[in-house]
C-alpha cells in the first residue's frame, strides 16, 4: 500500500436554503418550544450551531397573560398544551429581548400574531425594524376579533388579509403557519401564497382534550389544548405533502413539523416535501436533542448514499 491513506467517504452535506436563508442543517426549533432562545442557552452543553434555525415564542402587539393553569398535559405519544400565547408584548420584545439575540449562533425567526389583520402588520413591521431576525412566521391560530373570534387559519379571507397586512409592513420573508384543523388545507395555502407569503410551515397543533376521570373535569385549565408529539406525525406528513404540492411548483418552500423525534423522522418529512424540518416537543424531553437528530440524519444519508440532504426534498413516489 506504500503508506497511502485510504480515502474517507465525505460527510453528507446537511445544509439547506429556506427563503433565501442558509441553514447549516434542516432542523428548526419551532415556536413555543425554545422560549426566547435564552432558555436553550442556559442548558449546559447547548450549542446553537446544532440547529439550522430557531423560531421564537409568538409575540403579539399587546401583552398577554396566557391561559389558566395547568397548561400542559402528557398523553400517550404526545403532549397537550394550552399556553394561550403568553408574552410581554411588542414593546418589551423589541426593546429587551431582541437585542440580546444578536450573534445567537444560528438564524432567528420571529413569530407574530394578532387579533386583527392590522395587528399582524404592526407586529411584522416593528419586529423587522429591529434588524435581528431573518424572517417572520405568522401564527395564524389566533382568533380574528373582527370576524367573531373565528381563527385566522380557518378562514381563507382572514388569511389573505393577515398575510397581506404583514407583506405591506416588511421586506423580510414571511412564513405562514398553517393549521391542521381543516378538512382541506389547499385553499388556505393558496390564499397565503397569493397574499404574499414566501413559505408555509405545517403543522400547528391538533385540537385535543384530556379528561380527569376521577374529578370529571378537563385536565387543562382552559379546557382543550393543542396536541403535538409523535402521535401527530402521520397527520403532519400528509399535510406537508399536500402543501408542498401547492408551494413547490411556485418555488416556495415548506417547513414541515409534527412529531419529529429522530433523524429518520426528519428525513421522512423532507421526502414528503419539506425543505426544512421543525423540532419541538422532543426539546421538552431533552433540550440537546437537535445534536442527536442532526447526527442521525447524517448517518442515514450516508447509509442511503445521499450526498446532500436537500436532494431528498419532494422525492416521495406515489403509487
Look at residue 1 and tell me whether its pLDDT is greater than 50: no
* pTM of the predicted model as reported, rounded to 2 decimal places: 0.95
Q: Taking Cα atoms as reference points, which of 243, 78, 104, 97 lies closest to residue 177?
A: 243
Q: Which residues contact residue 139 at a Cβ distance below 8 angstroms, ignoring those fewer than 6 apart?
A: 31, 58, 85, 111, 112, 113, 177, 204
Give the ranges where the chain is alpha helix by DSSP (H).
Answer: 38-41, 90-92, 117-129, 156-169, 186-194, 233-247, 263-272, 281-285, 289-304
What is the band of 318 on the pLDDT scale with cuts at 50, 70, 90?
A: confident
Look at residue 7 and tell me whether its pLDDT is greater than 60: no
> What would the pLDDT profile of 210-266 be if each residue is shown by its tens digit?
999 999 999 999 999 999 999 999 999 999 999 999 999 999 999 999 999 999 999
Q: Is 261 helix (H, G, I), strand (E, B) or coil?
A: coil
Q: Which residues contact residue 194 at a Cβ distance below 8 angstroms, ignoring those fewer than 6 apart?
A: 160
Mean pLDDT computed over every residue of the chain: 94
Contact indicator for 213, 188 with CB cutoff of 8 Å: no
* Per-residue model confidence (pLDDT) at position 151: 85
CA distance 35 to 49: 17
Do β-strands 150-151 and 72-75 pair in parallel, antiparallel, or remain unpaired? unpaired
CA dihedral 231, 232, 237, 239 (to 10 degrees): 160
CA distance 236 to 246: 16
Percent above pLDDT 70 for the chain:
94
> What would the pLDDT profile of 127-157 be if each residue is shown by its tens digit?
999 999 999 999 998 766 666 556 899 999 9
Q: Name all domains of the chain by residue range, CATH numbers in brackets.
A: 16-312 (3.20.20.70)
> What would the pLDDT profile of 8-28 be if each residue is shown by its tens digit?
567 899 999 999 999 999 999
Average pLDDT over residues 41-61: 96
CA distance 294 to 47: 12
Q: Which residues are catalytic?
A: 142
What is the phi/psi pair of residue 33, to 5°? -110, -10
CA dihedral 109, 115, 121, 127 (to 10 degrees): -40
* Per-residue model confidence (pLDDT) at position 10: 77
Amino acid at each position: 500500500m506504500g503508506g497511502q491513506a485510504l480515502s474517507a467517504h465525505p460527510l453528507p452535506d446537511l445544509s439547506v436554503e429556506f427563503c433565501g436563508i442558509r441553514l447549516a442543517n434542516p432542523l428548526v426549533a419551532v415556536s413555543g418550544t425554545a422560549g426566547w432562545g435564552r432558555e436553550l442557552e442556559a442548558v449546559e452543553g447547548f450549542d446553537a450551531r446544532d440547529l439550522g434555525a430557531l423560531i421564537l415564542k409568538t409575540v403579539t402587539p399587546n401583552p398577554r397573560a396566557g391561559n389558566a393553569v395547568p397548561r400542559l398535559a402528557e398523553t400517550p405519544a404526545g403532549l397537550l398544551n394550552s399556553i394561550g400565547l403568553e408574552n410581554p408584548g411588542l414593546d418589551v420584545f423589541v426593546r429587551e429581548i431582541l437585542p440580546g439575540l444578536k450573534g445567537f449562533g444560528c438564524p432567528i425567526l420571529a413569530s407574530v400574531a394578532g387579533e386583527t389583520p392590522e395587528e399582524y402588520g404592526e407586529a411584522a413591521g416593528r419586529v423587522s425594524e429591529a434588524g435581528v431576525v431573518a424572517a417572520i412566521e405568522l401564527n395564524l391560530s389566533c382568533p380574528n376579533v373582527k370576524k367573531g373570534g373565528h381563527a385566522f387559519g380557518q378562514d381563507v379571507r382572514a388569511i389573505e388579509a393577515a398575510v397581506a397586512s404583514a407583506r405591506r409592513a416588511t421586506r423580510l420573508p414571511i412564513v405562514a403557519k398553517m393549521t391542521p384543523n381543516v378538512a382541506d388545507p389547499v385553499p388556505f395555502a393558496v390564499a397565503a401564497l397569493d397574499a404574499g407569503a414566501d413559505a408555509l410551515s405545517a403543522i400547528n397543533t391538533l385540537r385535543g382534550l384530556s379528561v380527569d376521570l376521577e374529578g370529571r373535569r378537563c385536565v387543562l385549565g382552559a379546557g382543550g389544548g393543542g396536541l403535538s408529539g409523535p402521535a401527530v406525525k402521520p397527520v403532519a406528513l400528509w399535510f406537508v405533502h399536500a402543501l408542498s404540492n401547492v408551494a413547490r411548483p411556485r418555488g416556495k418552500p415548506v417547513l414541515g413539523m409534527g412529531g419529529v423525534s429522530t433523524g429518520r423522522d426528519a428525513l421522512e418529512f423532507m421526502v414528503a416535501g419539506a425543505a426544512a424540518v421543525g423540532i419541538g416537543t422532543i426539546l421538552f424531553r431533552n433540550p440537546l436533542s437537535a445534536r442527536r437528530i442532526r447526527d442521525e440524519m447524517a448517518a442515514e444519508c450516508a447509509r442511503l448514499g445521499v450526498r446532500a440532504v436537500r436532494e431528498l426534498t419532494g422525492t416521495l413516489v406515489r403509487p
